[in-house]
Amino acid sequence: MSVQVIQVTEGVWCLRRPSYFACSYIVSTDAAAVAVDVGMDSNAQDFLPALKIIGLTPDRIKAVLLTHWHNDHSAGAAFLQREFGIPVYYNAGDQPFLSRKNASNGFRAWLGKHIPEEGVLVLLRGLLEEAVPEAVSASHFVSDREVIEGAFRVIAAPGHTTGHVAYYHEPTRALFCGDALAVVANQLRLMCRPVTLDLAAARSSALRCLDEDALFICPGHRAPLTKNVQQERQRLKTYLETGGRWPLLG
C-alpha span between 144 and 166 (Å, rounded): 9
Answer yes or no whether residue 179 interacts with Zn ion by CB under 5 A.
yes
Rounded least distance, CB 173 to Zn ion, Å: 24
Half-sphere exposure of 33 (CA within 13 A, CB side): 20
In this complex, which beta carbon is closest to Zn ion, that of residue 40 or of residue 63? 40
Rounded least distance, CB 195 to Zn ion, Å: 6
**Site pattern 193..232 for Zn ion (x: CB under 5 A):** ----------------------------------------
In this complex, which beta carbon is closest to Zn ion, that of residue 70 or of residue 169? 70
C-alpha span between 4 and 75 (Å, rounded): 18
Rounded least distance, CB 240 to Zn ion, Å: 20
Rounded least distance, CB 145 to Zn ion, Å: 23
Listed in order, strand segments (DSSP E) in 32-150 are 33-36, 61-65, 88-90, 140-141, 147-148
In this complex, which beta carbon is closest to Zn ion, that of residue 73 or of residue 169? 73
Cβ-count burial of 139 within 10 angstroms (0-12 exposed, 13-18 middle, 19+ buried)? Answer: middle
# of chain residues touching Zn ion (CB under 5 A): 2
**Site pattern 148..167 for Zn ion (x: CB under 5 A):** --------------------
In this complex, which beta carbon is closest to Zn ion, that of residue 129 or of residue 179? 179
C-alpha span between 26 and 234 (Å, rounded): 27
In this complex, which beta carbon is closest to Zn ion, that of residue 33 or of residue 122? 122
**DSSP structural state of residue 19:** G
Rounded least distance, CB 179 to Zn ion, Å: 4
In this complex, which beta carbon is closest to Zn ion, that of residue 179 or of residue 232? 179
The one segment of 26-34, 44-52, 133-141, 171-179 that binds Zn ion by CB under 5 A: 171-179
Computed from CA positions of residues 150, 155, 159, 162, in that sequence, does the dihedral angle turn out positive or negative? positive
Q: How far is CA 137 from the centre of its chain?
A: 17
Are the C-beta atoms of 35 and 24 separated by less than 8 Å? Answer: yes
Are the C-beta atoms of 16 and 218 separated by less than 8 Å? Answer: no
Answer yes or no whether residue 41 interacts with Zn ion by CB under 5 A.
no
Q: Which residue is nearest to Zn ion (CB)?
A: 70
Identity of residue 126: G
Rounded least distance, CB 21 to Zn ion, Å: 13
Rounded least distance, CB 68 to Zn ion, Å: 6
Angle formed by the axes of helices 229-241 and 199-211, nearest 10°: 140
Among 13, 14, 34, 70, binds Zn ion (CB under 5 A): 70
Site residues for Zn ion per CB under 5 A: 70, 179
